[in-house]
Structure formats: C-alpha cells, structure tokens
Structure 1
C-alpha cells in the first residue's frame, strides 16, 4: 500500500485523497499532520532499546512494600491431608501467610466457569498449583519461609497426557460438532479417499516480562493494582470477587507489557488477586513477581491437539468432503478452552472450500496446568491438520501440493460456504498465491530442490507454499466492543485513553494515529496514556487480533464527537455554513479564513464548549448459534501466504530455514512499519512453535521444560538469512473497518505452517519421494530424524517387495 495515501477529512469525514509525503510543505505551512497509513515508529520503540521503557518491576517501590512468594503443589493430583504453616508464619521477615481460609470473597480467579481457585483447598489438580502465599520484607525471605511448610498429600490417580485423557473418557467440557452437507455420504462416494493423523504440540508464551502485579491499598478498602495483563477489566472483576468488594473499589492500571501473546489474558488474575489480598490484609503495598521457572510451571500454554482427518476427492484433487476429529488437552480447568476449541473448528477449512464437512471436537481434562489463550487461539492447530491433508492428497495423486491448494481455494466471487455455514465473500487468497508463486519463483525453485536432492545423500531440501485465511472477531459476541476517552486541552494538545493494552504490538501508536488523523494534527500532539479501568470501563481483552479494529473505531468516535462540537461552534461564531469548515494540517479553514487548531480549541474553551468525549464501538453482524453450529462469527477474514525453503541433515535431524517469501494482507495499513514488524515476529514465533519449542512433562506431571536451558525459542540465528516480506498492495477491507485496515496480530503466525510443510517435503525426499512422512509438530531434530528413518525403512521395504 502507498504509505503516502492519507485521509484528508472534512466535515463529513469520508473523503480519501492522496496527500504529499510528511516531509513536504503545503501552502507555506509545516509538514502535513495526521498519521494514518504512515510508517510511524512504535511510540516506545526508542525506550525499549535504551531500557528507559518502564515496566511494573521498574516502578519505584513505595515504603513498606512486601514481596510475595507463592508456594506450589508437589503433586499432580492429590488430597491435601495436612497443612502446617506455623513455622512459615514464625520465620524472620514474614508479614503474613495466606491460604484459602483467608479469602474474604470467593476463592476463584477463573475467567468464566468458577473452577480456578486462588489457593487449592483440600484437593490439588496439577503440579505447581498454588497452595499458599508468603509476604515478607524481601522475596528471598518469603521463599525461604515457604520452604518451612509441612504439607502431607495423599496421591490420587493422575491423567497427564492427551492420550490418557482420551482413554479415560475424561471430557472436561461437552463435545461440539459442525456439519456441512452429507459428509459421510460424500466420502463414501468419492473417487479417492485418504486419511491421516497429526499431533500438534503446545507452546509456552515466553514473554520477556513474566507475570507480575503490584497492589496499592487505598481508603475505604479501595485497591489499585498495576498488573501486566491484556484484560484489565477481567482482572478488576476477579480481584473484586476475591476480596468481596464491588468492581468500583478496584482499579487496574497497565501502561505496557513486555509481551503477552494470550498468556496475559485470563491468567494474570490469579497473581493480581494474591497481591491485592496481601495489600488488603496488611495495609501495605505488595508485589508478586514470578521468576522464569515458576512462571513456566504455574501458567498455561497453547493447547496441544490430536487430529484425525479423512478426505474424499477427485482425480484433480478437488475436495468433495472432509471430516476432522479434533481432541485437545485443556489441563485441569476450563479457562478459555471452549472458545479455543471452537476456533480450531472454525479454521479446519483454512482457505479451502470443503463442500461437505464434519468437524468433531473433544475438550479433555488432564492433571496439568490449565492451558489458555495463545496467539491464534486454536486456529493454527486446526490449520496444521488441514495442510497435512492437502499434502496427502497431492502425494496420492502424484501432484504438486500447490496445485491441490489452488484447486480448492474459496472463490473470489463468493458462494463458498464454511463448515459453520458462513459465506466467504472477501476471498483474495487465489490472487495472492498467484502473485507469491511468481515473485518467489516457486516452480523453478521446486525443480531446483528436486535436482539438489537427487545428488545429495545427506542433506535434503524441502519447499512449500501455504495459505492463511483467518477469521477476525471474538467468536463470543459480547466481547466485540470497545470504549475510548479523548480530552482536548485548551492549548490544542490531546490526551488519549482506550480499553486496549500495549504489549509491544504497536496498538497505542496506531490508535493515536487515528486520533491525529481525525483532528489533522501532528502525532506528537496526541499523548498516549495507561489503560485504566477507572477511565474506560467494562473493556474486552486485547486479543482476537481486534485491538486496532475496535479501539481505533472507539477513539475515532470520541474524536469525531469533539470535532463536531468544534464545527458547530465555529459555524455559529463566524456565521459560516458547516460545509465550509474544513480541518487541514494543524489548522482549520473557516470559510475564507484560517486559524490554527489550537486557536480554535482555545476559542471553544472560552465559549464553554466541552472538549472531552467518550467513544464506543460494537462490531456489527456477529452471530453464532451453538445449537445448530451455524452463524456469522467473523466480521471479515485476513489473508496471507508464505513460501519457505528448508534443509535437513538426515544423519542428525538438524534443520534450517534457508529462505522465506511472505505476502500478507492487512487491508489499508494504519502503520506499515508496525504491521511489517508484526508479520515478521508472528512468523518467527510460529516457526518456533512448529520446530523447536517442545513442552515435556514426566510421569509425575512435572513440567521438565521450564527454563531457557530446556525450552528452546527461536533466536536471531534461527531467522532465515533470506527473508522477503511484502504487504499486499491491493489489500482493502470490504467491510467498514477503521480506515479500511485489517487485523495483523495473529494471522502471520500461521504463515509458519509453510516451514512445517517444507520440512515434511524434505523428509519425503529422504525416501526419494516414495513415502508420505508421518511428521508431528514440533518438528524437532529428534522427530525429523525418526521420520527420516521411518520413510527410508518403508521405501526399502517397498523396493524389496
């Protein structure tokens, strides 16, 4: 998209015109104002690099601050027979010790189902569950005191793995099913059928800033909590619930997070509640900060899945119908698992018209930490199985997987129906893939890869081009809302607050650009402030990729309210028709006269015109009927495609991504620089999920990969040396989004499926393409090595036969 294409909004606020670059001059004035569509730097970018960005642990601690250590269960599933904390209470420096009996309200910090106790009471259900908390003068003293506790458990049978849960029939939530057409009948009559199974592993969020909360007691039982959370309103509600207070007694503040990725949506409530309990009990400030090991043990992950599929198709690879059986490990409690499982079902089609479909989902309970939201929210897991299905069709027919993909894309003209009976009317995936196929030189490179593999016995290469179609909206209807608060001060500067949270993704600068654009003022004139529940109430989580969509619209609504007041004032004060009042860069034209924006604002202030407004936005048209499994759960779809080339060492399983070409659609980008960062970062995080990030529990339910020494996220060296990323220039939302932009937070992660598919292609090359490999995610060196040995063994068996 042309970064110089910026809106020049008059009274009606609808015209979109090309304007000169920001460095240009206009009628002798300074550089043009506004901000939409310009590659502005992240508002905290320089501070991130310099270390000046302040996080909760950087805040100066108030006198008397207590530090909290949370004591955790040593068992995965057991009855607590005895808890003796007298020695803990008597330890040096201890101010208080809290258990379930000390909670004045409800012992629950769950987002929905009331099944996440703050402290375990009588029963523990995962290794690492919180039992009690110690508040002391220092964290070292609190930790040492906790070690003096005497706890006696009586072990119960524990279900740890997803396979064990399925064998035991341990369904945590009711199963769900979607149907489109007569899938069973179609499969029975299809000319060709294949089936398969794929396991998709979980993933730790590994945010740079761990879980932390700093609680400050106030008057009349009021509590303010600085919490590193994506969902301040939910934390507010849970803290109030635990303390037995009304929501208005609790204020949550978030200036920034050092990463979130979904791990700070529901789970920060536990730590905020414990910190608030200590502050309420002692009347002293209280801080709870987890170290990396404890954070990884105590907090939920991306759900791991087991997916079986069966598909019927014709000789050209066109899909007649497909069936999926999805099972996911929820952990010990529901958390957000129901909605995550639903989204995995919603994305079982990815970018393909399945024509007839049956998707079944089971949500299984295990005695492990409760899994939770993670970038993509179930969608990536559903898509991995679909892409493996496409590749198996191609293998069965001896065709290029890209040709099978292209044969099954949703049509651009509309008419394609999803398994949940929503028509896809905005599909641009065929055009995007065609463009990427050419720009990446896919066909020639595929031949070159085959030629290389024919002469290389040890190292094998693989190549794959995969699409992404991702639905944008919370599938829970009431969450699709946002509020904003805008103040214009009499000097023409602006203060902006909204319900979205900043976790490094660039939401704050994007929404500030929207406000600057509406007033046609310099971006520097808009001050970004912390997210606070006492400024904008009842907000939804910054999640579902909808942060810019909903908060941008709410902020725009607030700005336009003030703008309309200014227009009405100027029209009356100067006797000029409203249509003759036009906001231009840092000034306002009133008939034949001009004045600066600040001058008009000051005149309006003196005339007692309100210069403060709230804004609200609710995404229209979102529906889903669970009884019939039909509806319109997404406002629109975001699209992308990636072509990845990899190499594997067949002796060790080691692998490397050599090159990736990405073409991604973000509509009319609000900020191309921020969006490019999200595309690259999302891809790398997805690549880590599918290649190196392996979670392991032992038979006792202990997480053994709980530190950087045993859990491997991608490093700078894992980034492909040749990485070509482009925002699709033709992108534009077909529905009325903020300046016709599209969401960018989650969809790029699924571009990394191309890496997993390329690795599978390289493994198949080890059998001279005679065997379709069984490869599960993450495709670690061990799994790749085992898969290579398996395909070679099968190929040798076929040759011998």
Structure 2
C-alpha cells in the first residue's frame, strides 16, 4: 500500500509513548548497584514495529554497568494509532531513561553528574556480562580510554568551570556542557547488490537498501566508481558521473531485506564491491589484449569491444559474511547523521509536540503545519574526530559512516543532557561523545560543538 507523507504521518507519526517506573540502588560515591525497571510501551491498535521495541530498549539501556539489572517491559495494545519506526526506535527512549536515572542519582547525592557517569562506565568484565555475544577481546574495549582522552582533548573540565562562572554571572542566560556514552551493538545481515554496465559505458546499480536521507545511495555510487576504477584504464577517474543508483524491486533483486540497524549502507557498499570485483576480473583480460593491439584504452572503448569474450556485464551478489572494509568513501559523510541527530533531539526533547484530535489522530502531520525548530545557520558542527589512532585510520580508509544511522540517533539525548546541565535555559554549549561498540572492536568518539545554537525557552 502506498500513501503520501501526510497520510503516513497521520497514521503512524511520532515515537512510542512509554510509562517508566524504576527503583535504583547506589553507594555514596555514585556507583549504582541495582536497577529495576517497569516499562509500559503504547503500541497502538496494531503491532507494526512494536514487537522489536523491548529488544532495542534493553540493548541501549545496557550502556552503563547497573550492577544487578531487572526489567519488565510490556508492549500494550491500545485504542490509539500505532507507531512505526523512527530513527533508533526504542533506543532513544532507553538512552533517555538511562541518563534520567544517572542524573537522579547525582542529584540525590549532590554530585557532579559527569562523575556519576564516569564511575558507572563498563569495565571489560561487566561488558562481557551485559553483552555476552559481542564484547570482543579486552584489548579491543577502548571506551574508558576514549572517555579520558575526550576530557583532555576538549578541555572538558576547564570548560565546565568556565560555564559555572558564566551561569553565576548571568541570571537569564545559562549554558551547559556534558558528555554521554553510547554502547551500540551492531550485527550484519545478508544484503544484496547488483551492478550492470551498459553499452555506452554508464553503470546502473541496484541495492536492497532504501535511500531515506542517510546517504546510502551516495556511498554506493562512490564505492562503485572506486571499485571499477581498479581496472586502471583511461577515463575511470570520471566513473562517478556515469554511475546511477535506481530503486530495486522484487523482480530484479530478490530478498532485499530491510533498511535498519545502522549497517545497511555499509553492507550494500560491500555487496556492490563484490560485484565490481567480478566485473573487473572479467574486463581485465580484454583490456590487456586491447592494450597490446592499440595502446592505452579508454573506458568507453573497452565496453564497446565487449561482444563474445564476456558473456555478461551484470553481476548480482549477496553479502553474507563480515566484510574486511578497506575501501574509502568520504568520511565527511559522518557529519550528516551526527548533525541530524542533534536537530531531531532539539525537537523531540525540547520543543516538539504531537497534537492529536479527539480520535487520537496526529494533527500536525508535516512541516507545512509544524516547523522544525531550527534553521541551517544553527546546525551543530562536527568539530573533532577524537579517538585512538586505529580509530582515525578506520575513519579515513574504510566505508564512510559505519554504524552511525541508528546509533547516531541516540545522540538526541545529548540535547537533554546539556539542557539539564544548564538548568533548562536557552543558549546551549555542548560537547558530544559517541561510542559505538561493534562486534568487531571498532570504537568511535566524536566531538560536536553547538555553541552557536540558540533556542527560545517556553514557560508553562
């Protein structure tokens, strides 16, 4: 069934409402020893994405060492409209719950919330208990070291003191600063890709992933151009302009899967790379023969000469196993998911509402009747990619924004953290720490500066 955006927003707009009750035990130094959670999730009148919510909630909640963790999550059928998937479904709410507990403990003990966060970070032993199947090896767990490195490289403690002084001297303007960890387990799944070279030298690519603003098609185009350029003939430096990605369907690309889990872009790129490797292998023999006869060969000439030697110029592959990932797509694409998460966080935690009518249908179904509370000039800016040296190499030489789509969505809580630190007043100044703990040991931290971001506070 196809519906327009307005109808879709009316049917399934907004995130899942939840009711959370918790009990937490802690020591005088802020170390949490036990957490019990009772969570009710309003699923609406139909299942939609709701059955996966408990899994997502718990996965995001486990970013801290809670000691003993007990939870009871009930997905409730109600007479309200159902909710669908929205960037990091369940994970955003869970990260908010975790930070609310941390800040509650810090407030009760009159401690700095950053010190409570720090003391409850996972050690490798507790990480293995909370993430049994994807904790990796001890040397691969770099979250505590990056936490410390971030504090030094960003002058975090010095800036904290500066903001305290600013807040003491300003009655109506307040600023806040905080850093929040995120531990996001990521798994790969089978992903298809299909690459076809047409007679005029243009290239058509199909992948199972859907382009919904995260840059998936852009990365796939870059990967295709790079992988086919390895044939090293004249004209391959302009291959990017010859590549177009089209929307696949079940006739041309079966078992396309779904676009979720922060890995679809990268898995699609790897599936396309495997296709290109086969095409390059097929084309290399012909290129060598032509070079012996006529010297350097252009890309268009090479493709025109294909008649009998190469029976097929279309290759379809499924990525089934973990990719090695040593092929560049511009790391600058990291900025988009990060900045987008901040803007969504401003709306979700501070200004955004879901007004409904008497029947429970969403009234503000799009940006024509509801304006997102930001403009491009107030976008947060990625200031620094901070981490260990191997993380820097990872960012520079592997596929662009690995595992940052849904994981990036949990950075919305950064807005909440900074705003709470600033006692709820406008004019935020913030640092963001993002840590992505993959099954295969890549950990990442990013500093985001939103000093230029100014918000209007609303008093109710």
Give, in whole Å, the separation in 1 of the partners of 2:382 and 2:402. Answer: 21
Structure-2 change in CA distance of 1:369 and 1:528 (3 Å): same
TM superposition shift of 1:554: 1.4
Counterpart residue number, 1:416? 127
Query: 2:326–2:398: 8 Å Cα contact kept in structure 1?
Result: no
Shift of 1:420: 5.6
Indicate the residue corresponding to 1:503 in structure 2: 212
TM-score by length of 2: 0.78
Which whole-Å deviations, capped at 9, do the CAs of 1:710-738 have from their partners, x for residues lacking one?
74522217836x7443334642799xx97
**Which of residues 385, 393, 401 is equivalent to 1:727?**
385
Residue of structure 2 in register with 1:363 after alignment: 75
Within the alignment, does 1:323 sit opposite 2:30 as a pair? no
Alignment partner of 2:185 out of 458, 471, 485: 471
The one of the two structures with greater contact order (alpha-carbon pairs below 8 A, sep at least 6) is 2
Alpha-carbon distance in structure 2 between the residues aligned to 1:781 and 1:360: 35
The structure-2 alpha-carbon separation of the partners of 1:563 and 1:700, relative to structure 1 and needing over 3 Å to count, comes to closer
- The aligned residue for residue 10 of structure 2 is 297
Q: TM-score, normalised by structure 1?
A: 0.47
Residue among 452, 455, 469 paired with 2:166:
452
1:52-73 per-residue CA deviation (whole Å, 9 max, x = no partner) reads xxxxxxxxxxxxxxxxxxxxxx
**Paired residue for 1:309, among 14, 18, 22?**
22
> Counterpart of 1:393?
105
Of residues 215, 224, 227, the one that matches 1:518 is 227
Question: Are 1:694 and 1:712, in contact at CA under 8 Å, matched by a contact in 2?
Answer: no
How far apart, CA to CA, are the structure 2 residues paired with 1:488 and 1:414?
51
Matches of 2:200 and 2:59, distance apart in 1: 50
- Give the match for residue 772 of structure 1: none
Question: Does the Cα contact within 8 Å between 2:334 and 2:401 map onto a contact in 1?
Answer: no
Alignment check: 8 A CA contact 2:193 2:316 kept? yes
Deviations 1:50-103 (A, max 9, x none): xxxxxxxxxxxxxxxxxxxxxxxxxxxxxxxxxxxxxxxxxxxxxxxxxxxxxx
| Shift of residue 339, structure 1, vs aligned partner | 0.8
Which of 96, 107, 127 is the equivalent residue of 1:384? 96
Query: Any residues of structure 2 matched to 1:205-216 within 5 Å, and which?
Result: none
- Structure 1 pair 594/758, CA: closer, same or farther in 2 (3 Å)? same
Is 1:668–1:732's contact at 8 Å kept on the other side of the alignment?
no
Give the greater-gyration-radius structure (CA).
1
| Equivalent-residue separation in structure 1 for 2:326 and 2:92 (angstroms) | 21
CA distance in 2, matches of 1:668, 1:323: 44
Contact 1:345–1:361 (8 Å) recurs in 2:
no
* Shift in alpha-carbon separation, 1:718–1:359, aligned structure 2, 3 A: farther
TM-fit CA distance, 1:402: 1.7
Q: What are the residue-to-residue correspondences of 1:58-457 with 2, within 5 Å?
A: 269=1, 272=2, 289=4, 292=6, 294-350=7-63, 352-411=64-123, 416-417=127-128, 419=130, 421-425=132-136, 426-457=140-171
Q: CA RMSD in A?
A: 3.6
Q: Deviations over 1:526-552 (max 9, x none)?
A: 232233332212212222222212211
Inter-partner Cα distance in structure 1 for 2:357 and 2:303:
65
Q: Which runs of 5+ in 2 are unaligned?
A: 230-235, 426-454
Are the structure 2 counterparts of residues 569 and 295 from structure 1 closer, same or farther at C-alpha, using a change threshold of 3 Å? closer
Greater helix content: 2
Q: Which residue of structure 1 lines up, in the alignment, with residue 176 of structure 2? A: 462
- The superposition leaves residues 104-153 of structure 1 with CA deviations (integer Å, 9 ceiling, x where unpaired) of xxxxxxxxxxxxxxxxxxxxxxxxxxxxxxxxxxxxxxxxxxxxxxxxxx
Report the CA distance between 1:388 and its aligned residue.
1.4
Which structure has more strand as a fraction of its residues? 1
Query: Is the 1:297–1:703 contact (alpha carbons within 8 Å) kept by the matching residues of 2?
Result: yes
> Which whole-Å CA distance do the structure 2 matches of 1:298 and 1:342 have between them?
24
Describe the shift of the 1:699–1:494 C-alpha distance in structure 2 as closer, same or farther (beyond 3 A). Answer: closer
Alignment-derived partner of residue 566 in structure 1 = 283
Q: 1:667 to 1:399 in 2, by over 3 A?
A: farther
Residue 81 of structure 2 aligns to a residue whose secondary structure is coil
1:638-787 matches, within 5 Å, as 670-697=329-356, 700-706=359-365, 711-716=370-375, 719=378, 723-728=381-386, 730=389, 731=391, 739=399, 742-763=402-423, 781=457, 785=459
Q: Name stretches of at least 5 consecutive residues in structure 1 with no aligned partner.
A: 1-268, 273-287, 475-479, 575-588, 621-634, 636-665, 766-778, 787-801
Pairwise CA distance, 1:706? 4.5
SS of residue paired to 1:496 = strand
CA distance in 2, matches of 1:491, 1:698: 56
**Deviation readout 1:150-181 (Å, 9 max, x if unpaired):** xxxxxxxxxxxxxxxxxxxxxxxxxxxxxxxx
Q: What are the superposed Cα offsets for residues 465-515 of structure 1, whole Å, 9 maximum, x if unpaired?
A: 2122223347xxxxx222111112355432211122222322112012112
Equivalent residue for 1:538, pick from 248, 255, 258: 255
User: Is the 1:549–1:738 contact (alpha carbons within 8 Å) kept by the matching residues of 2?
Assistant: no
Contact residue 554 and residue 616 of structure 1 kept, 8 A = yes
8 Å contact 1:330–1:366 — kept in the other structure?
yes
1:130 alignment counterpart? none
The question of whether the paired residues in 2 share the 8 Å contact of 1:354 and 1:418 is answered with no
Structure 1 stretch displaced more, 520-529 or 364-373: 520-529
